[in-house]
Structure 1
């Protein structure tokens, strides 16, 4: 007997449950469930909207539900209510009666009659009475926390670090869906040629106003394009593309990418080398090194050597002072990618940030031994936490007397992002719609 295929809302509820239980990333689970349940066409878009939207707005949804719940229900029931309220509040095209009917049916299948009556009762009460107003929250920081569904400690922290205006803009921007962007493999083709090819394939794309080899996708998923299959482009965020510019690459350089998987920046570096020199790309896990190799084969560049090495022990394996450029794209809190991975904002803690700073410093200290005299060491993270980034940078410079801050040189379109008094860049999501990113550069002294 065939197992009954899950409805889109049931699949969404299943993913929400797995995220809570396994602490897995929503983007990975979403792809797994789409394949396993054979979800196709417009249903993929709806499932993605339901999962990301419900996670993205979780604190707001809980605020809306609070007056109607006398006690906290079972976790899956709470997720079903969140999912239903999300549709009622944020999705115009789905009538309330369809949302209620589906929620009650799911409650019947997963629970018992009492639970389905409970779910029906709560949602009908919401319909009748309307939602509580956010203006009832007097404190502006707390209101912003609930309104944009960012934990209060995080909003307080950002407010302290960036001030009110930037914090408010960042919280609001984090609720917007990210635009898909890609990097053209300029070793093989020009940006304008790729734009023409993609338009012929039916994609709506335009050149990036930020990065010369970048393109923005306005409609369609170019991971399914012939241009992608042929290795003419790679999917990468515009902020992430800035890193290769900070490396100041010249032909025949030997470059180390110390924390490389899945290999986006590795590919960009190899392309900037125009197939000359060598990029040594490291990761701790063999299955991730396999991803780097697969990506290198797809883009058709043979100057990439991927190896399974713990970047905290590189000086034991690789020759000291043998690289012109070293990139440490360090493991970080990921607070710059909340539009892509909204679940991160609920799972991270202040303690995590402190622990990550320690690991980052370890990797930087080890990687510093591999930089040639007069060579550059670049440190980057996809976070916006100033303490996490600046503490690491300042501590590294305190400990390493043979390194000095180095000015970062970028295309004119990005020059305004560089701090004129320092060797660093802090990109916020609202700057140009990319991920939040931090980059710092250090130069090794001649002697």
Structure 2
């Protein structure tokens, strides 16, 4: 795709800037996603890191690039004829050579101290080199001790026509920074940690522009309609990876979702619901909702009127966030016991979904203890029940379209109420 508006990602700019200054790099974060990559000036495409990183290093002036992971051993990426591996003392077959952590340790030293043209060694899935970060095996300890010493011993030397300084660079690709031993990475001035962030709206928009053209119905659409679809697609995929965005487009093509209904494909990808329950709700039923409600809730005309206004806005979509993240409606019902607060919530549920039991109810008097918020979102890492999730997050995952009733919320611990700010504002709560 052609797009001159896309700036190189921050991690790419940092890597290029520090290549002459640091001998080793640690890339962490969104390493398994697609990355926006300028293959030629003005032409940008989405490619995996395994393609982008060698291209960047080659463009920077590295003549030889080797790749290692614990499953496949060593591969010669550039020039690809095995000469890079031979130079490292390996015996390649078809441009590849088997090897484990012990061989990586010895090869690392040969690589860093090698003469000749500048080279790079990329260690992928480096998080899997260590079984337990706080109890390294002898082989693991030797590997990172050697890497630590080599990071300080490495010296840059001039290479290429411009005689620019080059190290024989080592790049570690990890899931998160803490996967490597602290004593190896933290406070080491010879190693640069570069986080790879999730794609922003510019990266998603650059990719989506080309994806939109392949959606059902887009071939005969006007340019203005395609731009509108592109913007909607970008807004709906806030927080998703580029791999997810590509998967949404594939889902739309496979299920015949028209380009102007791309929000349906995003919803199906996120929550697995084919039909939008909001579109099934009868407008006539809602317009005559006051009569339906007053058959069950006597009096409370002020509360009923305001509740029905919120329901009408929810069904019609008026006033909704373009990103679609917020709850369709948020209501606080206040009053003494027995005036119909819970009954009104049940009645609205019945009006929307045809079943008054279709709501998710939490008796907040059960959440009066300080740490009871863990019941809603799950226990923190390292505690019993961490892998189970929270009662609220699990319930919403099972029934993404529902009415959630927090009964007697004033009896909950104040710490619980802090959790609702992000729920009411962005519709986000992570277990």
TM value normalised by structure 1: 0.25
TM value normalised by structure 2: 0.26
Q: Which has the larger Rg?
A: 2
